Structure 1
Amino acid sequence: MGIEKYAGRVAMVTGANSGIGYAITQALLGHGIIVVGFDKAVDKLQSLKLKDTTSNLHVVEGDLTDEDSILAAFKWIRDHLPGVDIMINNAGILSNFDLSSGPTDKWRELLYINVLGLSICTREAVQDMLSRGVDDGFIIHTCSIWGHITPNQSGVAMYCASKQAVKTLLEGLRKDLVARKSKIRVGEVSPGFTRTELAKKAGVTEAVYDMYPCMEPEDVAGAVVYMLSQHPRVQIHDIIIRPTGFDY
């Protein structure tokens, strides 16, 4: 009993228009899963939808910093699809500002997307599953190696704090579901240095990728597929993946 048990079921992927989210979307579609791709920019998703002969990809434009936008996305899913069975909280942003001088608006945006937006999506997905009696659903967060270790660069401390919050929230959710006697599973994937648009927006250039070992988004998507492929009695709580040869 592998990932094929989710064929024809619905997954919502945030941050689906690029990087890891885009790779996860492609991987899930390849296994016959219906995917709702949620993002502020949807150009790559729209292009992928034109190529999707299965009609399993649905594109929803929205903003994780706006709760109404998130709730509207879940309403669209309830109105047009059976409901969310797999919630992939992948969206995230990285900022590089020292704690002694960083701008509040950038911190607020980071914490809203990486922590609060993730929590709202989780709440709505779990409530949707519980209301429909879904007992084999899955909530997966994209965390980070920096959710487990703290790097030397002081400017990414707020980002690291947000990812450590994600780790704590996942364990809290697991205990919440156990208390409810629900078999909905939870997990997170914590990748190390990966070639993504998120890193590029934070100032990582192609030259940096040439200097250090890095992974590709498809590597992280493979970890998500592995997690979803386990027998229902198995809950892979966290997968830490590092580029071979990287020293952290």
Structure 2
Amino acid sequence: MTNGELHGLTALVTGGASGIGLATALMLAERGARVACLDLNALDADGKPAVPEPLIGVRGDVSDDASTLAAVTEAAERLGGLDILVNNAGVLGRGTVESGDLDEWKRVFDVNVFGMVRTARAALPWLRRSAHASVVNMCSLGATVGLPNAAVYCSSKGAVLALTTAMAADHLHEGIRVNCVTPAPVDTPWVRRLVDAAPDPEAAFAAVSGRQPNGRLCTAEEVAAAICYLAGPASASTTGVSLPVDGGSRGVLLSMDPRLLPARAKV
């Protein structure tokens, strides 16, 4: 994808004030799109944008129906329409089905799943007017790989994966493509805060990085590049797809001792 490929298109990124959302918003703008960031922290205490130019900051709460509708409407009106929706806003939740508090389950699903539903509902009337309509949902490796003590989070992202394919089927006839990106842990301020809360942050970070087949965490920019590809006209024949950005976590197994493999057969 080259700079200018998204020239003339408009995009809304939820959770766009930091981390993957901000990296995505900046990359979309670099490629020519006009971009708004919907986020609880999109504006500072004085009501001024908390996101860098040329991004537009719109304060909104995806866990609230009225707030989401108002924020999406404001963003679309300020942009002059809406071609791309990136459903990135999300929260983490810990716990098994036994230990996880039910209020925590409700909170995680309210943001990670219903937040996408609210935003998509508000955006669909605008997307239907676009000749290049695209929705990209933020999924997770946890949707397809079991992670310990993360049943609430993994199940919410499993729902996002199913929601993505269902939306793709529902809106294909309207010319609206729907895909998702499925990253492994990403080196963002969010992950760093989790690591810093561990008894030994340095060891925790090394452990999280070391379990990746490529030996490191993904970067926000790598995930943003995948989102930008799925969002743009270059992927016009791609819908209902889950694109992994995971350092090989789902497709590469490096734990087998090569000494256990048979010697190469002679030809």
Same fold (TM over 0.5): yes
Q: CA deviation at 1:6?
A: 2.7
Which residue number corresponds to residue 68 of structure 1? 66
What is the aligned counterpart of 1:106 among 96, 104, 107? Answer: 104
1:227 aligns with 2:230: yes
CA distance in 2, matches of 1:43, 1:210: 35
**Which amino acid is 1:239 matched to?**
L
Cα pair distance change 1:226/1:157, threshold 3 Å? same
Which residue number corresponds to residue 125 of structure 1? 123
CA distance in 1, matches of 2:113, 2:157: 8
**Which amino acid is 1:136 matched to?**
H
Q: Secondary structure at the match of 1:218?
A: helix
Q: CA deviation at 1:47?
A: 4.8
Write the deviation string for residues 83-136 of structure 1: whole angstroms up to 9, x where unpaired: 221000001111112321322332211101100011111122222222x3x232
Runs of 4+ in 1 over 4 A off after TM superposition: 244-248
Cα pair distance change 1:79/1:224, threshold 3 Å? closer
CA distance in 2, matches of 1:74, 1:222: 23
1:172 aligns with 2:166: yes
Q: Secondary structure at the match of 1:239?
A: strand
Structure (1/2) with the larger helix percentage: 1
CA distance in 2, matches of 1:244, 1:209: 18
CA distance in 2, matches of 1:93, 1:234: 31
CA distance in 2, matches of 1:96, 1:41: 24
Matches within 5 A, 1:29-40: 29-40=29-40
What is the aligned counterpart of 1:186 among 178, 185, 195? Answer: 178
CA distance in 1, matches of 2:174, 2:126: 13
Q: CA deviation at 1:78?
A: 4.1
Aligned residues: 236
Q: Which has the larger radius of gyration?
A: 2
Q: CA deviation at 1:5?
A: 4.7
**Which amino acid is 2:112 matched to?**
N
What is the aligned counterpart of 2:139 among 143, 147, 154? Answer: 143
Which residue number corresponds to residue 19 of structure 1? 19
Which residue number corresponds to residue 204 of structure 1? 195
CA distance in 1, matches of 2:156, 2:234: 30
Cα pair distance change 1:175/1:141, threshold 3 Å? same
Q: Which ranges of structure 2 fall in alignment gaps of 5 or more residues? A: 210-215, 255-267
Q: CA deviation at 1:209?
A: 2.7
CA RMSD of aligned residues (A): 2.5
CA distance in 2, matches of 1:143, 1:78: 24
Q: Which ranges of structure 1 fall in alignment gaps of 5 or more residues? A: none
CA distance in 1, matches of 2:169, 2:3: 24
Which residue number corresponds to residue 247 of structure 2? 243
Among the aligned pairs, what percent are the same residue?
28
CA distance in 1, matches of 2:106, 2:63: 9
What is the aligned counterpart of 2:92 among 79, 91, 94? Answer: 94
